[in-house]
Amino acid sequence: MTSSRFSNFAFGVLAWGVALLIFFPILWLLLTAFKTEQQAFSVDPTFWFTPTLESFRTALAQGNGYWHYAWNSALTAVASTLVGLALAVPAAYAMAFYPNKRTDFLLVWMVSTKFIPAVGVLIPMFLVYKTVGLLDHPLGLTLLFTAMNLPIIIWMVYSYFRDIPKDIVEAADIDGASILQTLFKVVLPLALPGLASTGLLALILAWNESFWSITMSDHRAATLAVYIASFKSAEGLFWAKMSAASVLAIAPIIVLGWFTQRQMVRGLTFGAVK
């Protein structure tokens, strides 16, 4: 008994140690964000210091562009999520409640588009976008994020719809409700929590996206990912500012992420792990 209690304690200490070690780089980024540039850029790292908001003030100052990038990130993430849900809900609804012989094939086909590597479609996307003026345009990025997340959104919405008992929908059909009435009056209210967590997951994935934003935007549509990536050649300069900008970019997502861990697993593994 005592030995098992001791081993439990030892494993607890070990787990905490590992957790702190894994978390440390984020903590270090957070600490650096509250330093002055001199403290951030020193050969001997400063562990004890008086925290200052100076770097946050510099990062957020007008003319430094933070708000421009943050606005683009928010706009493209929210818009792509909404467009994604608007496309996914009707499709998932049809597949979940009115399946036919082709449903399984279509669903699997939609999911499989997630596994086309982005570089596989990069070149035509770039050329077409350039021709039609969507290059470096928020709408262009929005639609790319939608395409990137749509398979996951469809899958998740479909799986939440499947959790709704079919009898309820059949009852509504028999009562003479049209397919769309059934969707809006019966199915959507029941699936609202599921839709919310699907939306949250899509939002996180779009916000963190970097490949499309780096390749398809320059300044006008550039997101926070592009802005922060521009610090990659800053040799020691502006590290505190970079840290402050990074903290502002990742903090909301980490907090949202903690709340959506389970949905994340469910969505990213396409229901193989629940």
Partner 1 sequence: MKATTATASATTAAEAPGARSFARTTRLLMAPAVIFLLIWMLIPLLMTIYYSFQQYNLMMPMYDGFAGFGNYAILLSDPVFWDSLGNTLIIVVASLAITVSLGMLLALLFNRTFMGRGIARTLAVAPFFVMPVVTGLIWKNMLLHPVFGLFAWIARQFGLEPIVWLDQYPMVSVIITITWEWTPFALLVLLTGLQSLPEDQLEAARLDGASALQEFRHIVIPHLGQVLYVVVMLESIFFLTSFAEIYTTTSGGPGTATTNLPYYIFQTVFQQSDIGIASAAAIGAVILANIFAIMLIRFIAGNLNAGAAR
62 versus 90: smaller Cβ distance to partner 1: 90
**One residue of 6, 49, 98, 184 binding partner 1 per CB under 8 A:** 98
116 near partner 1, judged by CB under 8 A: yes
Candidates 50-58, 59-67, 80-88, 189-197: pick the segment binding partner 1 (CB under 8 A): 80-88
**One residue of 4, 38, 62, 123 binding partner 1 per CB under 8 A:** 123
CA-based nearest residue to 267, from 149, 171, 162: 149
Contact set for partner 1, span 18-37 (CB under 8 A): 18-20, 22-23, 25-26, 28-29, 32
Contact 118, 229 (CB under 8 A): no
258 near partner 1, judged by CB under 8 A: yes
Dist. CA 80–CA 74, nearest whole Å: 10
CA-based nearest residue to 208, from 77, 93, 102: 77
39 near partner 1, judged by CB under 8 A: no
Dist. CA 96–CA 266, nearest whole Å: 17
The rounded radius of gyration (Å) of the Cα atoms in the chain is 23
- Least distance (Å) between residue 174 CB and partner 1: 11
Dist. CA 235–CA 160, nearest whole Å: 48
Contact 86, 143 (CB under 8 A): no
Candidates 49-57, 60-68, 186-194, 230-238: pick the segment binding partner 1 (CB under 8 A): 230-238
42 near partner 1, judged by CB under 8 A: yes
16 versus 67: smaller Cβ distance to partner 1: 16
Q: Take residue 181 and report the two structure tokens written for it.
A: 């009435």
Contact set for partner 1, span 182-201 (CB under 8 A): none
CA atoms within 13 A of residue 34's CA, in its CB half-sphere? 12
110 near partner 1, judged by CB under 8 A: yes
**One residue of 95, 135, 169, 200 binding partner 1 per CB under 8 A:** 95
